[in-house]
Amino acid sequence: MPEITLVEAVNLALARAMAEDPEVLVLGEDVGTEGGVFRATEGLQKRFGDERVIDTPLAEGAIAGISVGLAAQGFRPVAEIQFTGFIYPVIDQLANHAARLRTRTRGRLSCPLVVRSPYGGGIRAIEHHSESPEAMFAHIPGLRVVIPSSPARAYGLLLAAIRDPDPVVFFEPTRLYRAVRERVEDDGEALPLDRCFILREGSDITLISWGAMTRETLAAADRLAQEGIAAEVVDVATLKPLDSDTLLESVAKTGRVVIVHEAPLSVGVGAEIAARLAERGLVSLLAPIARVTGWDTVMPYPRLERHYLPSETRILDAARRVLAYQ
């Protein structure tokens, strides 16, 4: 079993899903001949043909809209939005239609579509290419928001997303696309949605994160371990619906929490997690919940990017403050 990168795992999962289910389609800009600007759809059109891997004209809103029509007709479209900076028009079709088609027709019509998009910063890209808008999507009822943090989880979660009967937005951390290699078995096994993953067990402090920030979070956990502190690292993976049980179990164990996300602070998904932990885990808490996040500013141009993204140092600072809290 070779070691593959996250983007290769996405490719593997797409190929697998398309081989298993003739209703799975891939569509988007430059996904066919070009194989996707990040090569996520490399080789798919050659293998499955241009009626299953479709190069669309340049229109993100319509890409999402035609996916709604295709899905209502029983196909399983996997639409690529080339960069999350271009995903905002898609919110219209997801919020107004995909996420509510099942409920407004009482189940007569439904929308098993996936919108996947490279997301997040740290790749020194031009503006608009480093967005983290996951909170906007997580706020839409009827939608699922899934963010893998490793090649194996990208494979398993994408398969789950494609097989899910409801619309899923699948954000792929661009920074991790090629940064990590891992053995991934192409066994068609999906990972569970709506479930957090414990990346590392510990009983002194809980570090909660998702996407590319799990790397800095794990690095911080390593440093803490050297100081004799056992940090538990949780990858949320499905931001909506949230697996409160796993998070609460961890807090009951440690009593101390740091949430790490690169999206801006205010009204981020970290706020939702903190609210739930406070609502139901209050008497477990030994210190206030800390959040280490991007600032409430526009993601700066690349020259200042490293001052925006949460660093291992910022995470460690927060963790130590939380541990020291009396």
Partner 1 sequence: MAVFVLPDLGEGLQEAELVQWHVSEGDNVVADQPLVSVETEKAVVEVPSPYSGRIARLYAKPGERIRVGAPLVEFDEGPRADTGTVVGELAAAAPPAAAPPRGAEPVAAKPAVRAAPAVRALAQRLGVDLAALTPSGPNGTVTSADVERAARAALAQAPAEILSGVRRAMALNMARAHAEIVPATVVDEADIEAWPPKTDVTIRLVRAIVAGVAASPGLNAWYDGRNMERRILPQIDLGIAVDTEEGLFVPVLRNVGARDAADLRRGLERMKADVRARTVPVAELRGQTITLSNFGMFAGRFAALVIVPPQVAILGAGRIRAAPVVADGRIVPHRLLPLSLTFDHRAVTGGEAARFLKAAIADLERAE
Partner 2 sequence: MSVDTTEAPLAPPEAWRAPLSPTVARFEIRYSRFLDPKGKPVRPLPDFAHDRAELVALYRAMVLARTFDTKAVALQRTGRLGTYASALGQEAVAVGVASAMRPEDVLLPSFREHGAQLWRGVSLVELFLFWGGDERGNDFAKAREDFPVCVPVGTHAPHAVGVALALKLRREPRVAVCIFGDGATSKGDVAEALNMAGVWHLPAVFVVNNNQWAISLPRSRQSAAETLAQKAIAAGFDGEQVDGNDVIAVREAAARALAKARAGGGPHLIEALTYRLSDHTTADDAGRYRSSAEVSAHWSEDPIARLRHYLVDNGMWSKADEERLLADSADSVEAAARHYLATPPPPPEAMFDFTYAALPKDLAEQRRAALDIVEQ
List residues with catalytic annotation: 129
Binding string, residues 15-34; x marks residues near partner 2 by CB under 8 A = ----------x---------
The distance of closest approach from Cβ of residue 324 to partner 2 in the complex, given in angstroms and rounded to an integer, is 32
The distance of closest approach from Cβ of residue 272 to partner 2 in the complex, given in angstroms and rounded to an integer, is 11
For the chain, state the CA radius of gyration. 19
For position 248 contacting partner 1 by CB under 8 A, the verdict is no
E strands, the chain, are 3-4, 24-28, 53-55, 76-80, 114-119, 144-146, 168-173, 182-183, 197-200, 205-209, 231-235, 238-240, 257-264, 290-294
- Asked whether the CA dihedral 147, 153, 155, 158 is positive or negative, the reply is negative
Pairing of strands 3-4, 182-183: antiparallel
CA atoms within 13 A on the CB side of 57: 5
Distance CA 258, CA 287 (A): 10
For position 105 contacting partner 2 by CB under 8 A, the verdict is yes
Select the binding partner of residue 97 from partner 1, partner 2, none (C-beta < 5 to 8 A, by kind): partner 2
Select the binding partner of residue 67 from partner 2, partner 1, none (C-beta < 5 to 8 A, by kind): partner 2
For position 262 contacting partner 2 by CB under 8 A, the verdict is no
Number of residues that bind partner 1 (CB under 8 A): 9
Select the binding partner of residue 286 from partner 1, partner 2, none (C-beta < 5 to 8 A, by kind): partner 1
Nearest residue to 98 via CA among 156, 145, 52: 145
Distance CA 125, CA 261 (A): 19
What residues line the site for partner 2 (CB under 8 A)? 25, 51, 56-57, 59, 61-62, 64-75, 77, 89, 92-93, 96-97, 102-110, 141-142, 144, 164-166, 194, 241-245
What residues line the site for partner 1 (CB under 8 A)? 255, 282-287, 325-326
